[in-house]
Amino acid sequence: MTRTADLIADVAAVLLSEDQIQEKVAELGRRISADYAGRELTLVSVLKGSLPFMADLMRAITIPVQIDLMEVSSYGGTATESSGLVRILKDLSSSIDGHHVLIVEDIIDTGLTLNYLVRYLRGKNPASLRICTLLDKPARRLVEIPIDYRGFEIPDQFVIGYGLDYGERYRNLRFVGVLRPEVYTSPA
Ligand code: IMP
């Protein structure tokens, strides 16, 4: 059985501590609450990686919000590379026609997944559509994505924790870290 301590042992370095993340989430919540004051906001989060960020961010927002969840998977890629071919595994539960929509993402890497999602959601006729991402890895961007709310810009490293996985593991860590190289090379 794998315990949290074993997961932590796989981590080479902590990139963002729990405190750093929580401080940033509170700041983003304040900004979003001020920017959307007097309007009804719908947060659309993308499973599974954005789950902890969405849960914390929605509670840091003080204006009325609705939430919806989508799940997409990119296919044709590898465990650490996205391909840009996106399949919708779970669609919106309610209409966003006329809603002010804020997409809540865990990380923007190449931007291919979000580029697809933005085009898809625009087609649903929202009153406005903006993007909030906790992490931004600009070094690997292949398509331009206008980011309205950005938590942290990070270097070109594959990161895990706070929702982000490698082989579906490490999502439950409270911090964002970098894995030891052996984890990628040794068989599971
Ligand atoms: P993009 O399409 O390349 O921008 O990748 C978007 C998705 O790839 C994210 O929502 C994550 O699920 C995954 N991803 C990209 N970079 C990382 C990383 O460093 N760690 C874990 N997942 C990542």
pLDDT at 26: 98
pLDDT in tens, 86-111: 889 999 999 999 999 999 999 999 99
- 70 Cα to the center of ligand 1, angstroms: 15
Residue 7 makes CB contacts below 8 A (sequence gap 6+) with: 169, 170, 172, 173
- pLDDT averaged over every residue in the chain: 92
pLDDT tops 70 at residue 48: yes
Residue 142, domain member (yes or no)? yes
pLDDT of residue 51: 97
Structure confidence at residue 68 (pLDDT):
98
Count of domains observed in the chain: 1
From edge to edge, which strands make up the β-sheet containing 128-136?
Answer: 85-90, 65-75, 41-47, 100-108, 128-136, 149-153
CA–CA separation, 115 and 84 (whole Å): 9
- Domain holding 101, by residue range, is 18-154
User: So what's the pLDDT on residue 83?
Assistant: 64
Q: Read off the pLDDT band of 73 (50, 70, 90).
A: confident
- Residue 60 scores a pLDDT above 90: yes
Domain annotation covers residue 179: no
Is any ligand 1 atom within 6 A of the Cβ of residue 101?
no
β-strand 85-90 against 100-108: which pairing, if any? unpaired
Q: Is the peptide bond before 24 cis (omega within 30 degrees of 0)?
A: no
Token digits of residue 49: 């990686």
Cα–Cα distance between 58 and 67 in angstroms, integer? 8
Please write the tens of the pLDDT for every residue from 120-152: 999 999 999 999 999 999 999 999 999 999 999
Verify cis geometry, omega within 30 degrees of 0, for the bond prior to 137.
Answer: no
What CATH number does the domain containing 47 carry?
3.40.50.2020
Q: Is residue 171 part of a domain?
A: no
The DSSP symbol for 82 reads -
Residue 172: other Cβ atoms inside 10 A: 12
Q: How far is ligand 1, taken at its centre, from the CA of residue 108, in Å? A: 6
Average pLDDT over residues 48-52: 96
109 in ligand 1 pocket by Cβ < 6 Å?
yes
pTM: 0.93
Measured in Å, residue 109 CA sits from the centre of ligand 1 at 5
Q: Is the distance from the beta carbon of residue 131 to the nearest atom of ligand 1 less than 6 Å?
A: no
Q: pLDDT class for 5, splitting at 50, 70, 90?
A: confident
Q: Give the Cα separation of 72 and 118 in Å (integer).
A: 13
Is 68 within a domain?
yes
| Confidence grade of residue 85 (pLDDT, cut at 50, 70, 90) | confident
